[in-house]
Amino acid sequence: METLIPEAVRSRHQQQRSDYQRDPHQRPMGSGLELNGQRRDGTTFAVEVSLNHFAVNDQRYVMGLVSDVSRRRHAERALQRTNQELEQRVEQRTAELKQAEQSVREALEAEKELNSLKSRFVSMASHEFRTPLSTIMSSVDLIARYAEGPQKDKVERHVAKIRGKVRELTTMLNDFLSLDKLEQGMVRCTPQEVDVVHLCIELVEELRSLCKPGQEIDFDHEGHDRVVVQDKQMLAHILSNLLSNAIKYSPENELVLLRTRLADGSLTIEVSDRGMGIPKEDQQHLFERFFRASNAFTVQGTGLGLNIVRKYLDLMGGHISFTSEPGQGTTFVATIPQHVTHEAHPADRG
């Protein structure tokens, strides 16, 4: 027997054989032992051994079956290696994923921080810029009052120019502030009774100063009723934005029409002009933040006005649409419920 056993374990095997003779028992193939056999040339190979004993004429015999399992063992080792590799790869991928998750979290934090910084800057800058602007405006008013003598006309012309520019700047700053507040979710509808006709006349009067020579705003209201229960400031902002755009984007000597209609529980505001119109390819982007049509670059603006208008309309439960022919004019139509029914939140539409 011992010639089949690797030299290193031969002596131990003799002992094991005597032990077995003393207490013979059946041992199935394999049974968890890693055994090796030895070839004539001294090389070893994996084997499995089963043991059985039996008696013939009171003579005990032991039968051992030895099978060469080196190919199976080889396959098992290969499988084990593959499993280890797979486990390593899973560990590596998990670590990579954790790392990626961490980077995304850090980027998100940085983004939040940047956003809050932007927000604080916009709010601070807008507030701080408005104070000197209002001082400039009051001094300009005083200069206009004191201007006498042969240069009076020139002084008045320049004073009007300064007033116009200060107003433009103030509107811009107000737009930045409004948008920031809207995006922070800080704006709420405060409904109150508003006389639409009264509000429109007031605004038309105010906006007349923006008109170019020969431009007129023509206002008409349809319907017996003229009172809505809505947020007055938002309503005024929408009207004033649509009207100032109509004035800005149309030439001298052209009419701007403002039509309001109050019927069946809703207020319709229509503002039309005979101005430059909006190129067809730009129309789908008109309500996006900072978007300005390709033909508008000679006119001052930020591209925020209509975005704010739409966000206010969302809050008021209203909506807006427009039709425009390049070179011929544009009509905006906003519809708002007569009574604010719910406090909608502005959809996040960029």
- The residue ranges that bind ligand ADP (CB under 6 A) are 241, 245-246, 249, 273, 275-278, 286, 291-293, 296, 301-307, 330
Least spacing, CB of residue 239 vs ligand ADP, in Å: 13
38 vs 332, beta carbon nearer ligand ADP: 332
Least spacing, CB of residue 256 vs ligand ADP, in Å: 9
Least spacing, CB of residue 285 vs ligand ADP, in Å: 9
Cβ–Cβ contacts within 10 Å for residue 6, how many?
17
Least spacing, CB of residue 140 vs ligand ADP, in Å: 23
Least spacing, CB of residue 323 vs ligand ADP, in Å: 11
193 vs 325, beta carbon nearer ligand ADP: 325
Least spacing, CB of residue 217 vs ligand ADP, in Å: 13
47 vs 247, beta carbon nearer ligand ADP: 247
Least spacing, CB of residue 304 vs ligand ADP, in Å: 6
278 vs 340, beta carbon nearer ligand ADP: 278
9 vs 177, beta carbon nearer ligand ADP: 177
35 vs 254, beta carbon nearer ligand ADP: 254
Chain centroid to Cα 18, Å, comes to 81
Cα 256 to Cα 272: distance, rounded to the nearest angstrom: 6
230 vs 241, beta carbon nearer ligand ADP: 241
174 vs 302, beta carbon nearer ligand ADP: 302
How many CA atoms lie less than 13 Å away from 223 in the CB half-sphere?
20
Least spacing, CB of residue 175 vs ligand ADP, in Å: 7
